[in-house]
A = this chain, B = another copy of it.
Amino acid sequence: MGNGAQNYHHGDLRSALIEVATSRLAAHGVDSLSLRKLAEDAGVSRTAPYHHFKDKSALLSAIAAKGFSDWHATAKRIFEQTSKSPRARFREFVHEYVGYAAKHPEMYELMFGRTIWQNQAATPDLKEVAFPCFQFQVTMTRYWQEHGLLPNDKAALRLAQVTWGTLHGIARLLIDGIYADSSHIDEMCDCAADLFMQPR
């Protein structure tokens, strides 16, 4: 079976679908993702995807899962730059988070939008990747608390929820284009970072 030949059996349709979906997502947005178009892009018929994904939501979840593991890696990389001070890393993290959202708006929309999360529609696979991602936020928060960067009199979990909420909110306001001009991204990030960081 040649890799690109028009065989009856595709070979690895699952991966192929995720691939074409990811590129289409970045190019034309989450709303343009239709199973039928994706199937066509992958060179198979409309209903072939159903042998690899329970339904459309499951396919989207699979794409989002990849986004989460990517972001998780990025966050880890920033956090583990021991050469930089905790304060510098915190600030960088804030910028990087919002920057990621601004740079990959469609992926971010998919990852954190209601499409795949509402009605407990999230796939176990997705939860398995997304949950550690938030857990890491708690870990970082605890670290920043220990280094006197965030207030120590609050539960790390609570604090992590609020800080993430802030980043998430800024990201959404930018993505949805509600009012925040993207040219002000950096200023907003610095403002948020300053607000959270305790005076040293």
Contact = CB atoms under 8 A, between A and B. Distances in A.
A114 B180 contact: no
A200 to B, nearest CB: 15
A15 interface: no
Interface string A134-175: 100000000000000001001000110110111111101101
Interface string A97-140: 00000000000010011100110100000000011001000000
B172 A172 contact: yes
Q: How many copies does the complex hold?
A: 2
A177 interface: yes
A114 B109 contact: yes
Contacts of A175: 114
Contacts of A195: 151, 154, 159, 162, 195-196
A98 to B, nearest CB: 10
B113 A176 contact: yes
Interface residues of A, number: 39
Contacts of A109: 114
B114 A192 contact: no
Contact of A179 (B134, B154, B159, B184): B134
B154 A164 contact: no
